[in-house]
Amino acid sequence: MTLTNEQLIQIRRHLHQIPELALHETQTHEYLLSVIKGFNQQFLEIRETPELPTALFVLVKGSNPQRTIGYRTDIDALPVEEKTGLPFKSQHPGVMHACGHDIHMTVALGVLNYFAENQPKDNLLFFFQPAEESDYGGKRAYEAGLFSGKWCPDEFYGLHDNPDLPAGAIGCRMGTLFAGTTEVNIDLNGKGGHAAYPQDANDTVVAAAALIMQVQTVISRSIDPIHSGVITLGKIRGGSIRNVIAGHTRIEGTIRGLTQKMIKKIDGRLQDICEGVGRSFNMDVKLGLNQGGYWPVENNPQLTKFFIDYMQKTPDVNFIETAPAMTGEDFGFLLAKFPGTMFWLGVDDDSQLHSATLTPDEAAIKRGVDAITGFMNARMAK
């Protein structure tokens, strides 16, 4: 039987109570598996894998497959202490689905359940992905070779909930939806000494100050103002006491850009500045850049045009064209490997994502399921 709205809400509330951090989603994995095994199994093949133990792959076998359409949902939570006061609040202290992945999973289960009852024309691949918030679950799956053979999608889709959009609304845009991110770590190594004898030391705090000021010119003078990029150096630590010159200072921050090309350009300019500061202050300046799996979420032009056209023409869908967001999402790595589209599902909440008070409107779940199943049917008819 197709899941009712009430059943979907109950699934979501159960998932909300058992949030787990990246690569530790064992209880979530077992619950998802139990729900999926309750579906009609005639067209389903379930795959678990030792390379990524908390992940789940489900293949829905098509009646006359010409391609495999992938759908991804993330399953991990955040280290946030919940403050919603909900009767079904998190039962795991200090962990919460503060990014709405419980909504994501429930929508995916609703779509999977629909096609378990209504055999699709093409093959459908559902990927329940661990470690989106950290540890690069999408990249891990790809690099482990888990998308191969019949488990390889020809195109990939996924959603993220959005508290700024009305419940059930679908938001999307051509081009980049989410920025890519790079973690920045800079270590300046000079020579410590007494504050009264600066000539005998090499002050890394002064060099760090010069470096930070130079970095502010990267976006304003090296990036096309029509496009967007961000460098934030959010943490600096140097020295231990007021009358000692620091021999080591560490700076940590983040780079964000709307295309992989832009991120590489910003990375290169930051490398130039670090090398220049090292020469200017006669000290060792080491730059560490870690993009991990958080590439820009760049929507495929042809597939996204079809997606937007369908949503705009469907009377029951409230479609909203959205601006790009500077937040990161690891689905961008998979979209760099497979053509596809990411989109927003509105959940209408005053609290923002990653907030301890995030309370999505559950009316979004069934509307999301209906919009996505309708789109997939239209896509398979193409």
Distance CA 39, CA 4 (A): 13
**Which of the residues are catalytic?**
74, 133
Residues 87-130 have pLDDT tens digits of: 999 999 999 999 999 999 999 999 999 999 999 999 999 999 99
pLDDT of residue 189: 98
Closest C-alpha to 75, from 126, 124, 123, 38: 126
Residues 45, 24: Cα–Cα separation, whole Å: 24
The predicted pLDDT at position 223 comes to 87
- CA dihedral (145, 151, 152, 153) positive or negative: negative
Distance CA 26, CA 55 (A): 9
Enumerate the β-bridge partners of residue 251: 186, 236
For residue 324, the model assigns a pLDDT of: 94
pLDDT at 297: 97
Percent helix / strand / coil, the chain, rounded to 5: 35, 25, 40
Cα–Cα distance for residue pair 145/170, rounded to 1 Å: 32
CB 148 within 8 A of CB 47: no
Residue 257 CA, chain-centre distance (Å), reads 14
| Residues in Cβ contact with 6 at an 8 Å cutoff, skipping those fewer than 6 apart | none
**Distance between CA atoms of 250 and 218, rounded to whole angstroms?**
20
DSSP code, position 325: B
Distance CA 11, CA 32 (A): 9
User: Tokens standing for 91?
Assistant: 């039962």
Which distant-in-sequence residues (6+ apart) come within 8 Å of 262 by Cβ?
Answer: 223, 227, 229
pLDDT in tens, 140-152: 999 999 999 999 9
Q: In the chain, which residues have pLDDT < 50?
A: none
Please tell me the distance from the alpha carbon of residue 205 to that of residue 202, in angstroms, as a whole number: 9
Q: Which helix (H) or strand (E) holds 302?
A: helix 301-313
Q: For residues 269 and 217, is the Cβ–Cβ distance under 8 A?
A: no
Query: Taking a C-beta distance cutoff of 8 angstroms, is the pair 346, 87 a contact?
Result: no
Give the CA radius of gyration of the chain. 24
Q: Please say whether the beta carbons of 202 and 283 come within 8 A.
A: yes
Q: Rounded to an integer, what is the distance from CA 233 to the centroid of its chain?
A: 21
Q: Please give the C-alpha separations between residue 49 and each of 128, 254, 302, in angstroms, as whole numbers.
A: 12, 33, 32
